[in-house]
Copies of this chain bind each other. A is one copy, B any other.
Amino acid sequence: MNFDFTYENPTTIHFGKNAMNNLEIELSKYGDNILLAYGRNSIKKIGLYDQIITICKKLNKNVYELSGIMPNPTYEKVQEGSKLVVENKVDLILAVGGGSVIDCAKAISVSAYCEGDAWTKYWLQFEPVNNKIVPVGSVLTMVGTGSEMNGGSVITNEQMKLKIGRVYPFNVNPKFSILNPEYTYSVSKYQMVSGIFDMMSHLMEAYFAGNDDSVSNYIIEGILRSVIVNARKAVENQEDYEARSNLMWSASLAMNPIVGLSKAQDWEVHMIEHQLGAYTDCAHGMGLAAISLPYYRYIYKYGLDKFVRFAKVVWGIEEKDKTKEEIALAGIDELERFTKECGIITSLKDLGATQEMLPLIAESTIVLNGGYKELTKEEILNILKEAY
């Protein structure tokens, strides 16, 4: 507990098989005009779209639609949504989907009434939000980002080849989020395991920084242990309700940001992945996994005791006659074995990167200094080459 902090989280979570029963009462708190934001057809396939439209009709809501939100949502899409919000005096943006859809909804929420170019103001210059914010609610169908219970929003500017994330103040959080683990059954195994690594990365990037003995470290270790157990069960049987529900709630907690309060944090892996994503459009969690392994093998010696602790507590590595270095590396080996077991892709080549892209990704990556080692661009390039 090194730093002072202020924590609040105004998101109401409705969790479980009957969580959708709360949508009607939540919607009735807002005005008549709803923007329904979603991705492609999956919410229609699983019947969610019809269910929501029925509730909206019952409440005499006017429903406008923003469909086709893509996995790495673009600023162009944000502009399209902002236009719809202003034209139709939208009272609530209802995001139905995964983190990308919710991230896009939050970006629209802050951008719609922004004077001037929102990208410049809010993403490039990180200015405080001083215009009207349109409330967002969410129905979650894909697990990993934690966007359902925080103010984070990651948007890609395709023209500038930049993928930039920002955590907005608490009033940008979804007002409510509906989490029914059964809605996540239809997501492909590829996307499921990508989301699993995403939540693990959120936990590890908060963990691998600083020398504090904050309670946050202990909580992170606990959630990681649970994620590992439940990921294995979910890979075995994607319809294991207990496993999917534990993973769903773990993802919300991991990026809440209640678990990492008052401690140093890293987030360099996310920075590198954002630029990887801007160039390749790869699944976010897969990109994180590919970068994490060589990254941790490179930086572990700068935070040796923490990597030893990780190996022992999270992976159960026994000391026996090992050196600290050997214990630390054995922990990272276990992490790698786990990714393989889950079918997580950890080669940048297989994720669509070309060798020519690597220097461009390295050069455009934001360098942070919260972790155990502040990287040079050359070190980032080496890590990318290791991950290739």
Q: Is the CB of A213 within 8 A of B6?
A: no
Which residues in chain A, 2-16, are within 8 Å of chain B measured between CB atoms?
2-16
Distance, CA A22 to CA B7, complexed state (A): 12
Which B residues lie within 8 Å of A241 (CB)? 1
Q: Is A219 part of the binding interface, using a Cβ–Cβ cutoff of 8 Å?
A: yes
Q: Is the CB of B3 within 8 A of A7?
A: no
Write 19 A-B pairs (CB below 8 A) sorted by A numbering. A1-B15, A1-B181, A4-B14, A4-B18, A7-B12, A7-B13, A8-B10, A8-B11, A15-B262, A212-B242, A213-B229, A215-B227, A215-B230, A215-B250, A219-B222, A219-B223, A222-B222, A245-B262, A253-B258
Selected from B3, B218, B225, B229, the residue in CB contact (under 8 A) with A223 is B218
Q: Is A388 part of the binding interface, using a Cβ–Cβ cutoff of 8 Å?
A: no
Distance (whole angstroms) from the CB of A253 to the closest CB of chain B:
7
Q: Is the CB of A15 within 8 A of B6?
A: yes
Q: Is A280 part of the binding interface, using a Cβ–Cβ cutoff of 8 Å?
A: no
Distance (whole angstroms) from the CB of A368 to the closest CB of chain B:
22
Q: Is the CB of A215 within 8 A of B219?
A: no
Q: Is A249 part of the binding interface, using a Cβ–Cβ cutoff of 8 Å?
A: yes
Which B residues lie within 8 Å of A227 (CB)? 215
The 4 lowest CB-CB distance pairs between A and B, nearest first, are A4-B16, A222-B222, A1-B245, A218-B222
Q: Is A384 part of the binding interface, using a Cβ–Cβ cutoff of 8 Å?
A: no
Q: Is the CB of B6 within 8 A of A22?
A: yes
Chain B residue with the shortest CB-CB distance to A176? B8
Distance, CA A19 to CA B261, complexed state (A): 14
Distance (whole angstroms) from the CB of A25 to the closest CB of chain B:
11
Selected from B10, B218, B219, B245, the residue in CB contact (under 8 A) with A10 is B10
Given contacts A2-B242, A249-B261, 14 further A-B contacts (CB under 8 A): A4-B18, A5-B15, A6-B15, A10-B10, A15-B262, A213-B246, A217-B226, A218-B225, A219-B219, A219-B226, A219-B253, A221-B222, A253-B258, A258-B258
Distance, CA A332 to CA B374, complexed state (A): 45
Distance (whole angstroms) from the CB of A176 to the closest CB of chain B:
8
Q: Is A214 part of the binding interface, using a Cβ–Cβ cutoff of 8 Å?
A: yes
Number of copies: 2
Distance, CA A2 to CA B16, complexed state (A): 9
Distance, CA A51 to CA B226, complexed state (A): 45
Number of interface residues of A (CB under 8 A): 47
Chain B residue with the shortest CB-CB distance to A225? B218
Kindly name the residue among A13, A22, A229, A250 whose own CB sees the greatest number of chain B CB atoms within 10 A: A13
Chain B residue with the shortest CB-CB distance to A212? B242
Q: Is the CB of B8 within 8 A of A15?
A: no
Distance (whole angstroms) from the CB of A255 to the closest CB of chain B:
14
Q: Is the CB of A15 within 8 A of B22?
A: no
Kindly name the residue among A17, A226, A262 whose own CB sees the greatest number of chain B CB atoms within 10 A: A226
Distance (whole angstroms) from the CB of A120 to the closest CB of chain B:
30
Q: Is the CB of B1 within 8 A of A242?
A: yes
Q: Is the CB of A242 within 8 A of B213?
A: yes
Which B residues lie within 8 Å of A261 (CB)? 15, 249
Distance, CA A5 to CA B15, complexed state (A): 5
Kindly name the residue among A4, A6, A223 whose own CB sees the greatest number of chain B CB atoms within 10 A: A4
Which B residues lie within 8 Å of A15 (CB)? 1, 4-7, 261-262
